[in-house]
Structure 1
Amino acid sequence: MIIRNSHRGAIRTLALTGASLFVLQAMAGGTAFAQQANTPNRGVSANGGSVQLDELSVESRSVGDRYGPVSSERPGPGQPENPNGPIDGFVAKRSVTATKTNTPLIETPQSISVIGRQQLDAQNAQNLAQATQYVAGTYASPFGYDTRLDYFLLRGFNASDYGLYLNGLQTLNYGFGYFRYNTFGLERVEVLRGPASVLFGAGSPGGIINQVSKRPTYDPFGYVEVGGGSYGQKYAAFDFGGPADKEGHWFYRLTGYGRNGGTQIDGLPDNSFSIAPSFTYKPDGATTLTVLTAVQRDTTGVSANFLPYFGSVRPQALGLRILRSTNVGDANLNTFQRDQAFLGYQFEHVFDDTWTVRQNLRYSFGESYQNSFIANGYDTTDTTQTQLSRYQFLVKDRVNIFQVDNQAEARFFDGFFRHDVLMGLDYKDYRLSDNQGTNFGANPFYTVPNLNIIAPTNGFAAGTPGPYLVNFDTFKQLGIYLQDQIKLNDQLTLLLGGRQDFADNRVTDKLNNGLTSNGRSDNGTTYRLALIYNFDYGLAPYVSYSTSFQPQLGTDISNQTFRPETGKQVEGGVKFEPPGQGYFLTLAGFDIHRKNTLTADPSNPFFQVQLGEVRSTGFEAQLQATVLDGLNVGASYTIYGLTTERDSNPALLGKVPVNVPENFANVFVDYTIPFGELRGFGFGGGVRYVGRSFADQANLFRVPDYVLFDAQVHYNWDRWRFQVNATNIADRRFVSSCQTTNACFYGQARQVLASISYKW
């Protein structure tokens, strides 16, 4: 709560932890008034030099202790929510992703969805794609069932490469040097839609996904879980933490997860192990240092089979469809392994009521290896369409990323308006050793045996893939940003933000005598302007304009680096969160223009070309609700038009890009009986609809829409929880999308998981 003397312009911040404030009197030698931070005045009366406040609900907007310990329990009614901590039910109140400040979602002039731990547990989300499949504007797994990594489209644009973040710092997945964080180690998943370059300096114009990891807790707790189900999957997990000393200066948390078993693909494993130690040092009430680490190993293979359109979407020449369980890569030669590690810290110091400084730093390391066969359409001499031709693909990548984000936040009153000013300087240093080999080409030096889709047999290739790309990529970026959230009055907020980036991209071609390509240095200016008006009854219309800047890594087939990608968006919407009603509704319309987009090179699918401009215009709705007693709901609807505005091929103008469905809707419901003999018993499920997409740039081959059903039951007894989840319970066979008519991807088959957990 902020107490301001209007005579002197002084601001004093009080930390309020209770649910109500009964009586407050302030003697200031002049007319004074009391004001709750970022909320309208309620029940205020003034008599002379004093101020009397009737009982009102208070939710503190403290700028300090954002990087400190959190509670292990969800906040109760009326209790303030930590923007990095647990959420009560499905409805989040606050976030730091959209503004990098502790801002209520109802005061954030941009479309954002927050999935908390309770919803992740209800869905038993095993990966980030499952965690976001009920979020507006988000199409998870466009490349189908993939055990290696998570793919996303936000408002029609790929967000898997530059749009994934962990604790506010980019994971930057390029080439095959990508990261994947285990969802059991997450407290929240926050999906910010629209450009975010002003604060982050990168990301798709469609938005970003920020993963917030679990962190040390004030109170001691412990949790263990075991489970298993389809395809022989078995897993075990633990999570415990709390204070480490009697004085209350040290706190810790240790989270671990292990999984072993098969998949819907014959002979393909999906094994994973991760452990994430973290600790917090808090010497006093003003200073916090939290160290966050994680180590993970994944062992699997290529499950996203590249299948022909005829044989997956439509029957092939004999009226058959390829089985979802077919291991196109060959059970004897289909390997993917990743080792990754994160080491970083978050530091915060509150100097006084005005100034707070923070530093967010992390070093990330990843090493991946893949050796597999990839399908390449039917053999051209096979009229029965039963012989899949294949080639071998070999990758060895190593990636290192150093990142640091320095922030200074000042909250003050200038005599006319309240300000929340954020100043920042961030830097990243990315290094990738990229080694890729194949026998693909017009004159391969050895051939891979065809695969008979009716009677598959396994057989090794006759040789070792030859290298076609051996690069060492370095990318450095320095950004300076400034943002001001200005309270023009108690209800109207103006957000202004600007950023200047300096980027340098160099590629050393070690395959061709170590020559350095035509690396480039770029700079870009981005800005954001937004207004939001908060009515007393919970309605908040807003409008915003923002731009994006994204330097591109890698080179084209001629070893030339790419120009930066730019974008701009106009968004208008309304948010509705009536006080005390337990639900949050967001409606948003948007228009995005994206320039210098990358697409597959038509002359060589292993490289990309930079072509033209794409536009996305649409509407989305998101509802999160925790209503009645024990009922939680998450639902969304999205529709947009995605068209090619500029391209080297005039015939493609106005066409819809491949892979992208333009219409989807879903709802997930979870209910736990709160009283009676069946108290603790719960059930629920979800419905997911995905609209049609196209398999070719000319939009001649259509991928049909589909509907999927999920279900779950659970029972809470004392400290125990028993749960069973079923994904795609009807086991519908569907194609998520097609990249070309020779590259279509089956979605996830039915998967059933049962789990038992205990918390103390």
Structure 2
Amino acid sequence: MRVGRTRTEAPRTLVLAGASLVALTAALTAAHAQQGGSSVRLDEISVEAQGAGMPAGTVTSGTGGAAARGVEDPKGPIAGYVATRTTTATKTNTPLIETPQSITVIGQQQIRDQNAQTLTQATQYVAGAYAGTFGADTRIDYLTLRGFVVSDYGIYRDGLQLLNYGFGYFKVDTFGLERIEILRGPASVLFGAGSPGGIVNTVSKRPTETPFGYVEVGGGSFGQKYGAFDIGGPADKEGHWFYRLTGYGRNGGTQVDGAPDDSYYIAPAITYKPDGATHFTLLSSFQHDNTAVTSNFLPYLGTVRPNLSGLRIPRSLNLGDAGFNTFTRDQAFVGYEFEHAFDNTFTFRQNLRYGFNQSAQNADIGQLGYSDAAQTRLARYQFLTSTKVNLFQVDNQLEARFSDGYFRHDVLLGLDYKNYQLHDNQGTNFAAGYTVPDLSILNPAYGPATGRPLPYLVNADSFTQLGVYLQDQIKISDHLTLVLGGRQDFADDRVVDKLNNGTGSNGRSDSGTTYRTALIYNFDNGLAPYVSYSTSFQPLIGTGIDNQTFKPETGTQVEGGVKFEPPGQGYFLTLAGFDIHRKNVLTANPANVLFQAQLGEVRSTGFEAQLVASLTDGLNAIASYTIYGLTNERGTADILGKVPVNIPENFASLFLDYTIQTGDWRGFGFGGGVRYVGRSFADTANTLRVPDYVLFDAQVHYEWDRWRLAVNASNIADKRFVSSCQSSASCFYGDARRVLASLSYKW
């Protein structure tokens, strides 16, 4: 580890080298074509799918070698619910049954059947995942995997990281996704970042070979209305250019009075395929969100339990004055995926993207408890933030598939780089020297803001990371595969304290080495036991209350399990046991909730089971079960040996959907799901418990010709529950009943 202020020029040089390599590849390809030379033909992949806006014939590249027609594209549609291939776990086109790590893939049909409009809603039936930790929060999708937060450093889009630090949240629109891949366990060897609990990689919709169109309108609870469209296909007669345009817009309210949830999204994409060996796809998206703070920070007494007056705080209570409980965000992504196969052995890929995010929040917040002895009035403070994020990333990959005479190898050599720039301005009424009126939970009275917050933090954060990685998937025999991987990272974090004219500026440079070794054996009957050991490395952005930058988080995991995918049976079962140690863990600072602190080491040991099935024509099913134990193994005396707050350690779910295939009722479908979430703790001493809860979901739908009508309901019994508590003064109501009707047409 090296601490200093000098920046290295190596990252810029290596990135330029990667860009130059792409330019050289393009030039060689063009020259080769002009000379009439033959090129390697990567057969195009065609998959039949029934998902909304998901036609057959997504334009694909080989993604790691020649692919046969009829094999699933790992970035394309899924036939039914059961995916068979992925690139997330290994960055190569690998069957799920040959991947020695626990992973769940959600396709567009499942997203449509559940009408999941957020990443939180789409992952509620995934083993190991707890979605919606902070309840009905419309600003961000908050997820944990195996007991560890992944919303900050563990969300990815098309294999490139979405950094969510402070209040610079990126938001993912599910209508723009082809699939969602949840990889459990450390992934730092390939990605250089992420929680040891895992990562969530969202895969964008891409242009298709087959022309198509899709439109959908809908609406329901809290006055929500939405419309969406998805069109694409070839753009020329020669079959070299393809396009896709996806759009989505909604407006309306939320379960919190006066809090809007408006969002507008547009995503143009273009693919160019000059021949079977070269593939270039431009991916872009633009999004605007207008909402509010809906995850009210409420006291334990009055939510989980009745307060001293025997009352519970209404879920619909808006803690912020309606005129200035606001959160707005504008974000944009522009990037590309390039691939060129030199021959049957070597393939080069480069994925590059620039992301921009600008957000602002102004709201009255809870977290202060009651202001009167009868516990009928809530104390509040005003919080204002303005954030701007610029994020540049590039990932260069060279893949080689060959045999050394004894074993078959799939070797991946990579060089990636990211540059994250954050302008972070946060202020409160405390800094401005005025108080915010408390709020009655019986007769809430609102008025204009009593003042404007002054900043207590104005920082310019600069974070860069350069990583070199190497992986070899070794086929020792037709049944036994050994995966070896290693990576070296170089990270630099600088924070300029602009509020104090730079006097509190700080920074550090860190390096980290991670590795993975895994073994999987594939029996002919579809049984595949596996074992793996992996490590993680996550440099942390920002500073604590002392204005000091944080040490990187590190972790280790041992995982063993078995996968079962009997040929032709239409289901996939994964069982996994794991033991994770995570060091330098960030948690809320007990001295000031506006800051974080590194208080020790947490261990997570547990078991997961996930079943995904398309059992017969028209019947799809998902089932999951998770149990683990979380323990603070190092830290201050008050948390040592205790379970961290916010996180349940036991949950299970089951979801079914059936569509009648013949007879007079052909096209009519129905289904539903049940979700169980176990108890969690509301205080570090583990004396306050948040009880477990069970929720029920249901849906009916009817398809005829090219039309589809559907009604979806989540938490159909409208059960009032607390999703978690961060402390005795910060608890969060979960989602109320949500009913949405939709009508769609495709051509």
- TM-score of the superposed pair, with normalisation by structure 2: 0.92
Cα drift, residue 757 of structure 1:
0.2
Q: Are 2:526 and 2:567, in contact at CA under 8 Å, matched by a contact in 1? A: yes
Query: Deviation digits for residues 365-416 of structure 1, max 9, x if unmatched?
Result: 0000000000133344x11100100000000000000000000000000000
Which residue pairs with 1:8 in the alignment?
none
Work out which of the residue numbers 336, 361, 365 in structure 1 matches 2:327.
336
1:492 partnered with 2:480: yes
Note if contact 1:619-1:638 (Cα within 8 Å) is conserved in structure 2. Answer: yes
Question: What's the secondary structure of 2:133's corresponding residue?
Answer: coil
SS of 2:113's partner is helix
Q: CA deviation at 1:67?
A: 10
Q: Distance in 1 between matches of 2:693 and 2:626?
A: 15
What residue is the counterpart of 2:87 in the other structure? 96
SS across alignment from 2:222? helix
The aligned amino acid for 2:596 is: Q
User: In structure 2, what is the equivalent of residue 3 of structure 1?
Assistant: none
**Are 1:564 and 2:552 matched, yes or no?**
yes
| Structure-2 change in CA distance of 1:719 and 1:607 (3 Å) | same
SS at match of 1:635: strand
| Alignment match of 1:432 (pick from 409, 416, 422) | 422
The one of 169, 174, 198 equivalent to 2:189 is 198
Q: Which runs of 5+ in 1 are unaligned?
A: 1-11, 20-61
In structure 2, the partner of 1:469 is: 457
1:618 equivalent in structure 2 = 606
Match of 1:759 in 2: 746
Q: Is the 8 A contact 1:692 1:703 kept in 2?
A: yes
Q: 2:723 aligns with which of 736, 740, 746?
A: 736
Counterpart pick for 2:706 among 719, 736, 742: 719
Tell me the TM-score normalised to structure 1 length: 0.90
Per-residue CA deviations over 1:143-196 (Å, capped at 9, x if unaligned) read 000111100010000000000000000011000111002110001000000000
Find the aligned partners of 1:758 and 1:16 in 2 and give their Cα distance: 31
Shift of 1:64: 4.5
C-alpha distance in structure 1 between counterparts of 2:312 and 2:504, whole Å: 47
Alpha-carbon distance change, 216 to 566 in structure 1, aligned in 2, over 3 angstroms? same
Identity %: 72
Supply the distance in 1 between the matched residues of 2:603 and 2:266 (Cα, whole angstroms).
42
| RMSD between aligned residues | 1.8
Cα deviations by residue, 1:424-471 (Å, 9 ceiling, x for unpaired): 000000000000000247xx6111111000011112232110100000
Aligned equivalent of 2:113: 122
Match of 1:252 among 210, 235, 243: 243
The answer on whether the counterparts of 1:584 and 1:623 sit within 8 Å (CA) in structure 2 is yes
Cα deviation 1:92-140 (Å, max 9, x = unaligned): 0000000000000000000000000000000000100000000000000
Distance 1:117 1:617 in 2: 32
Residue of structure 1 aligned with 2:384, choices 379, 394, 401: 394
Contact 1:398 1:432 in 2 (8 A): yes
User: Deviations 1:286-325 (Å, cap 9, x if unpaired)?
Assistant: 1011000000000010000000000000001111100000
| Amino acid in structure 1 at the alignment position of 2:414 | G
Matching of residues 314-325 of structure 1 within 5 Å: 314-325=305-316
Mapped partners of 2:446, 2:115: distance in 1:
35
Q: CA deviation at 1:79?
A: 2.4
Report the alpha carbon displacement of residue 14 of structure 1 after superposing the two structures with TM. 8.8
1:65 offset after TM fit, Å? 3.2
Please name the residue that 1:404 is paired with.
Answer: 394
The 1:379–1:734 alpha-carbon spacing in structure 2 relative to 1, beyond 3 Å, is closer
Per-residue deviation, 1:612: 1.0
Deviations 1:516-552 (A, max 9, x none): 6230000000000000000000000000000000001
1:210-230 Cα deviation digits (max 9, x unpaired): 000101001100000000001
Q: Choose from 184, 206, 211 the match for 1:215.
A: 206
- Segments of 5+ residues of structure 2 without an aligned counterpart are 1-38, 47-58
Match of 1:327 in 2: 318
In 1, distance between residues paired with 2:450 and 2:515?
55
Q: Which residue of 2 aligns with 1:415?
A: 405
Q: Does residue 82 in structure 1 map to residue 73 in structure 2? A: yes
Residue 139 (structure 1) aligns with: 130
Q: 1:710 to 1:413 in 2, by over 3 A?
A: same
Q: Which residue of the partner structure matches residue 434 of structure 2?
A: 446
Task: Give the C-alpha shift of residue 207 in structure 1.
Answer: 0.2
**Could you say what secondary structure the match of 2:444 adopts?**
coil
Selected match of 2:618 from 627, 630, 637: 630
Counterpart AA for 1:248:
G
What does residue 509 of structure 2 align with?
521
Once residues 13 and 186 of structure 1 are traced to their aligned partners in structure 2, the CA distance between those partners, rounded to angstroms, is 30
Look up the equivalent residue of 2:62 and give its one-letter code.
Answer: D
Q: How many residues align?
A: 696
Is it true that 1:643 corresponds to 2:631 in the alignment?
Answer: yes
Partner of 2:154: 163
State whether residues 17 and 80 of structure 1, in contact with CA within 8 Å, keep that contact through their aligned partners in structure 2: no
Aligned mates of 2:191, 2:367 — CA distance in 1:
38
Tell whether the 8 Å contact from 2:40 to 2:341 is kept in structure 1 after alignment.
no
- Aligned residue number for residue 268 of structure 2: 277
The CA deviation at 1:17 is 7.8
**Counterpart amino acid of 1:198?**
V
| Alignment match, 2:54 | none
- Contact 1:64–1:356, Cα closer than 8 Å, also in 2: no
CA deviation vs aligned residue, 1:229-261 (integer Å, no higher than 9, x gap):
011110000000000000000000000001011
Alpha-carbon distance, 1:16 to partner? 7.0
Q: Check conservation: 2:42, 2:62, Cα contact below 8 A.
A: no
Distance 2:519 2:379 in 1: 56
2:402–2:410 Cα contact (<8 Å) kept: yes
Would the aligned equivalents of 2:377 and 2:439 in 1 still touch at CA under 8 Å? yes
| Distance in 2 of aligned mates of 1:690 and 1:415 | 52
Shift of 1:650: 2.1
**Alignment partners' CA distance in 1, 2:410 and 2:62:** 17
CA contact (8 A) 1:370 1:395 kept: yes
How much has 1:513 moved relative to structure 2? 1.2
How many angstroms apart in 1 are the aligned matches of 2:630 and 2:437? 39
Question: Cα–Cα, structure 1 residues 251 and 514, in superposed 2: closer, same or farther, change >3 Å?
Answer: same
Cα distance in structure 1, aligned partners of 2:518 and 2:367: 48
| Correspondence for 1:25 | none
Partner SS, residue 368 of structure 2: strand
Q: Which entry has the higher C-alpha Rg, 1 or 2? A: 1
